[in-house]
Chain A
Amino acid sequence: MRYLFYPGCSMQRTARPYLDSLHAIQETLELELEEVHDWNCCGATEYMSIYRLPAFALIGRNLALAQQQANGSSTVMAACSACYLNLSKTDHYMREDSQLSQDVNTALQAGGLRYDPGTIAVRHLLDVILNDIGVERIRELVTRPLTGLRVAAYYGCMIVRPDLEHRWENPEYPTALEGLMTALGAEVVDFPLKTHCCGGHMTQISPETAYELIRRLVHGAALYEADVLVTVCPMCQLNLDAYQVEMNKHFKTDYEIPILFVTQLMGLAFGKDPDELGLGREFVDSGPALAKIGLAALDDEQAPPSPRKKRKKEEGLPMPPPMEGELR
């Protein structure tokens, strides 16, 4: 299956392991990815805060480049949820608002480009994995099942909301990622906060606001004794991983939930080498979680992985304990 691919800025830097692990599994998945040539930043949530039309034109350039390059495949796949939404939203609003479409094209003309709304279908990597490849096929590809690994499946916001193209069954409580994790052999834990916000850019604007949102998610995963939280977005990974450390300092807590990308867990289940999947580059060590599926910790291969520290019950936050029978 061939797709145009829009990696986005984060995947090339802060979420490099996401890109590396995607590349590591794409052959197994028979995914042919052709990068949109000379793509530019999608503007994240910032460009739109300052300019309206230029923000759409900025994204429009990427769609126009993709249209030029389409050559049989008219699907642009993005693995970053913010890039996915920005691309999808621009195409959608241009279809809906003819004045906007006209203005974006007037701007694009200054660069010798044009975009006809509706020519490109914008889709998220997870959508492609679930709907084009399918969970059944994934199950067949598993050579090292993630048996015993307890996973909290986290979607974040922008992949499922506002869901302009109605690609998901529910904007608040989707369940497809859980099915994928089960196919990999992992044990999926209940995770009611699965589409709650990771804090987004609030880490830079009001860290206290962000830390509280990060705490809720990490606490939720810890409460149901998840070994790892799986994500499909670079921003979510950065906030929940790197800022989990800062959040612990802020609240004087000691949560240690490793945050991995969906492609990393798929790679592990397909028997790939952890190094190739960019594992070991996270702030919260995934070593103890990997040890559960029989893989040695990466940084310190001689030393046996230390048992995971559990928070003492009396230090817990004033939250009701999970109901009997919900845990192992």
Chain B
Amino acid sequence: MVNGSDLALEVELLEAEELNLVALVEAQTPGDTRLAMCIQCGTCGGSCPSGPDMDHTPRQIFAMLRAGFKDDVLRSNTPWYCVSCYLCTVRCPQEIRITDLMYTLKRMSVEAGLYEDSTAPDLSGTFVDYVERYGRSFEFGLATRHNLRHRPLSMPSMVPMGFGMLTKGRMDLTPHQIEGLDQLRSILRRAKELEAVQ
């Protein structure tokens, strides 16, 4: 039998964890996210273009965050299936910055290494690599590296599109590099140092 004080302690701990997780997510998102204001109406999930393919709707994710289900949230494909269309953000009656929160959850899931399918995190990672290497994105490199790694069997069927992009002058085989690459790298290095101590 659970006695009263144990139960009270448990509730207290649970509340502390809930506050922690919500506060943690909010602290890593710029501005006032209003995450704690969610009324669980489900407008977000109903508006989401990739909602049907998500493990959890955004509404469920927010309930899970409040309940302290950190690992379950960070394992979910939901943030990675967010297409950044901001439809939920403009429709949310509580004006919660849902899209921004999804970016935060992506970063937390990378940091924790908890994502189950690496396709989306790797796409972002490869993109970041090219930007840091040249200062510009490099579509040809991104498309080949990403598809070779994650969808090698689709490569033959992608040939016509790749060939089309090249012959229509819509893709280059070589990257463009900015002049101030060292400057950009210094800026990004400093930003990463600052982010690490926060």
Interface residues on B, range: 35 or more
- A200 and B84 in contact, given A14-B139, A107-B190 (Cβ under 8 angstroms): yes
Minimum CB distance partner of B32 in chain A:
A96
In the bound complex, residues from chain B placing their C-beta under 8 Å from that of A96 are 30-31
Query: Does any Cβ of A come within 8 Å of B86's Cβ?
Result: yes
In the complex, which of the residues A41, A45, A54, A209 contacts B135, with contact meaning CB atoms closer than 8 Å?
A: A41
Q: Is A242 touching B30 in the complex (CB atoms < 8 A)?
A: no
In the bound complex, residues from chain A placing their C-beta under 8 Å from that of B85 are 157-158, 161, 196-197, 200
Q: Is A161 touching B161 in the complex (CB atoms < 8 A)?
A: no
Q: How far is the CA of A171 from the CA of B104 in the complex (A)?
A: 23
In the complex, which of the residues B90, B135, B170 contacts A13, with contact meaning CB atoms closer than 8 Å?
A: B170
Q: Is A161 touching B90 in the complex (CB atoms < 8 A)?
A: yes
Q: Is B127 touching A47 in the complex (CB atoms < 8 A)?
A: yes
CB distance from B5 to the nearest CB of A (A): 40
Bits for B176-198, please: 1 = Cβ < 8 Å to A, else 0.
Answer: 10111001101111111011001
In the complex, which of the residues B53, B170, B188 contacts A281, with contact meaning CB atoms closer than 8 Å?
A: B170
Interface residues on A, range: 35 or more
Query: Does any Cβ of B come within 8 Å of A185's Cβ?
Result: no
CB distance from A263 to the nearest CB of B (A): 16
Query: Does any Cβ of B come within 8 Å of A255's Cβ?
Result: no
Chain B 79-135 interface residues, beta-carbon cutoff 8 Å to A: 80-81, 83-87, 89-91, 97, 99, 103-104, 106-107, 110, 119-121, 123-125, 127-128, 131, 135
Minimum CB distance partner of A90 in chain B:
B30
Minimum CB distance partner of A283 in chain B:
B164
Q: Is A112 touching B183 in the complex (CB atoms < 8 A)?
A: yes
In the bound complex, residues from chain A placing their C-beta under 8 Å from that of B188 are 54, 57-58, 107
In the bound complex, residues from chain A placing their C-beta under 8 Å from that of B60 are none
CB distance from A233 to the nearest CB of B (A): 12
Bits for A229-273, please: 1 = Cβ < 8 Å to B, else 0.
Answer: 000000000000010011001000000000000000000000000
Query: Does any Cβ of A come within 8 Å of B137's Cβ?
Result: yes
Q: How far is the CA of A51 from the CA of B195 in the complex (A)?
A: 8
In the bound complex, residues from chain A placing their C-beta under 8 Å from that of B170 are 13-17, 281
Q: How far is the CA of A111 from the CA of B188 in the complex (A)?
A: 9
In the bound complex, residues from chain B placing their C-beta under 8 Å from that of A145 are none
In the complex, which of the residues A12, A108, A157 contacts B187, with contact meaning CB atoms closer than 8 Å?
A: A108
Q: How far is the CA of A9 from the CA of B183 in the complex (A)?
A: 19
CB distance from A2 to the nearest CB of B (A): 23
Q: Is B90 touching A206 in the complex (CB atoms < 8 A)?
A: no
Q: Is A51 touching B190 in the complex (CB atoms < 8 A)?
A: no
Bits for B156-177, please: 1 = Cβ < 8 Å to A, else 0.
Answer: 0100110011001111100010
Q: Is B31 touching A97 in the complex (CB atoms < 8 A)?
A: yes
Query: Does any Cβ of B come within 8 Å of A304's Cβ?
Result: no
Q: Is A209 touching B50 in the complex (CB atoms < 8 A)?
A: yes
Q: How far is the CA of A282 from the CA of B170 in the complex (A)?
A: 9
Q: Is B123 touching A46 in the complex (CB atoms < 8 A)?
A: yes
Q: Is A50 touching B84 in the complex (CB atoms < 8 A)?
A: no
Minimum CB distance partner of B120 in chain A:
A205
Query: Does any Cβ of A come within 8 Å of B136's Cβ?
Result: yes
In the complex, which of the residues B84, B168, B184 contacts A158, with contact meaning CB atoms closer than 8 Å?
A: B84
Chain A 36-50 interface residues, beta-carbon cutoff 8 Å to B: 38-41, 43-50
Query: Does any Cβ of A come within 8 Å of B28's Cβ?
Result: yes
24 contacts between A and B (CB under 8 A): A12-B176, A14-B139, A15-B170, A16-B169, A39-B178, A40-B136, A52-B104, A53-B194, A61-B184, A108-B187, A113-B183, A157-B84, A157-B85, A158-B86, A197-B83, A197-B85, A205-B80, A205-B119, A206-B50, A209-B50, A242-B161, A242-B165, A281-B170, A282-B168
Closest 8 CB pairs of A and B: A161-B86, A46-B127, A110-B190, A107-B191, A200-B83, A111-B183, A57-B191, A157-B85
With A45-B83, A157-B84, A213-B83 already in contact, 4 other A-B pairs whose C-beta atoms are closer than 8 Å: A53-B194, A93-B30, A172-B91, A204-B119
